[in-house]
Amino acid sequence: MNVSQIATFYGIYPSILCPLKSDYSIDEEALAAHVAEVTSARGIVGVLCNGHAGENFLLSRAERKRVVEVTREAVGRGRVVAGVNIEESREAAEHARDAEAAGADAIMVFAPFSWALSQDETVALNHHRMIGEAVDLPLMLFQGAVRSGRIAYTSEVLGRLVELPNVIAIKEGSWETSAYEATRRIVQERAPHVAVMASGDEHLFSCYVLGSEGSLVSLAVIIPETIVAIDQAVRRGDLAAARVAHEVIYPLARAIYGTPPGGHATARLKTCLKLLGRLRSDLTRLPMGPLEEGEIEMLRLALETAKLFSG
């Protein structure tokens, strides 16, 4: 893809959730409504489905494909980025083919969780190459948090990955501003056509100031208009307006992601939407959830602080 084609993928993508019924099966009606709601916000260009927030690691292969199908129908003309989070590379390639058949516009390759313990340049390159060769779609990379072990690629590994011919973007989730800047500098040196998209929710303000081509963030399922607003404010140089948006984002991000244990983030997102009346159920796939009452109250206060909830 040339630079102008890659630029069509720039923008804000909510990383959607996966609503469930009481028997833990996917609530397809609620999923479609969820997608339609978040993409109705002005400035949203598409969604990321089957991401970490969408419980991708807890869904079967058939369920993941169905999520893409439902999302594709609900999103209309917007972009659908489908996550692939599979340990074995041949199986990951099959999941990518499923997503392509279901209507995805791009594949986001998540680093398998086992890589937190160990992986190297050869492992990462082989995995991404096999997925890229299996589909006729562009790839997006995922750069993990600085404290996530080897899920956060070293500069050497990242430099090689961005040089792969079908890589067009990175969901940059270092969750540390200095690491984010380091990623942007590596990409500018090795593959300047690749988009670096800030995805550390509470750090969006500072990362946007450093430069970003958009975001793929789960917090945008709660406040899509605010995420769009801070991005656009920074782009036009209106830092005062960006700070106003940041004051809405920060307390929510701290409550959802910055409060230990971080593994509760998906359950917290669902609970927030339930408190706001946007989801019928906040059920998550086991072993996540349910949240304790004190944690629910913490989320309620964060929503009130952000002036989203006053019940």
pLDDT tens figures, 249-289: 999 999 999 899 988 999 999 999 999 999 999 999 999 88
User: What's the pLDDT score for residue 309?
Assistant: 63
26 forms beta bridges with 20
pLDDT at residue 311 is higher than 80: no
Q: What is the pTM of this model?
A: 0.95
Mean pLDDT of the chain: 94
Check: CB of residue 103 under 8 Å from CB of residue 132: no
Domain 3-236 grouped into CATH 3.40.1000.10: no
For residue 309, count CB atoms less than 10 angstroms from its CB and return exposed for 0-12, middle for 13-18, buried for 19 or more.
middle
User: What's the pLDDT score for residue 115?
Assistant: 83
For the chain, how many residues are written?
A: 311
pLDDT at residue 121 is higher than 70: yes
C-alpha span between 70 and 37 (Å, rounded): 14
Segments making up each domain of the chain, as ranges: 3-236
Which distant-in-sequence residues (6+ apart) come within 8 Å of 24 by Cβ?
283, 285, 286
| 53-74 confidence digits (pLDDT tens) | 999 999 999 999 999 999 999 9
Average pLDDT of 147-165? 89
More reliable by pLDDT, 309 or 151: 151
Average pLDDT of 43-62? 97
Average pLDDT of 100-115? 95
Nearest CA to 15 out of 269, 225, 280 is that of: 269
Average pLDDT of 85-113? 97
C-alpha span between 167 and 217 (Å, rounded): 19
C-alpha span between 62 and 67 (Å, rounded): 9
pLDDT at residue 38 is higher than 60: yes
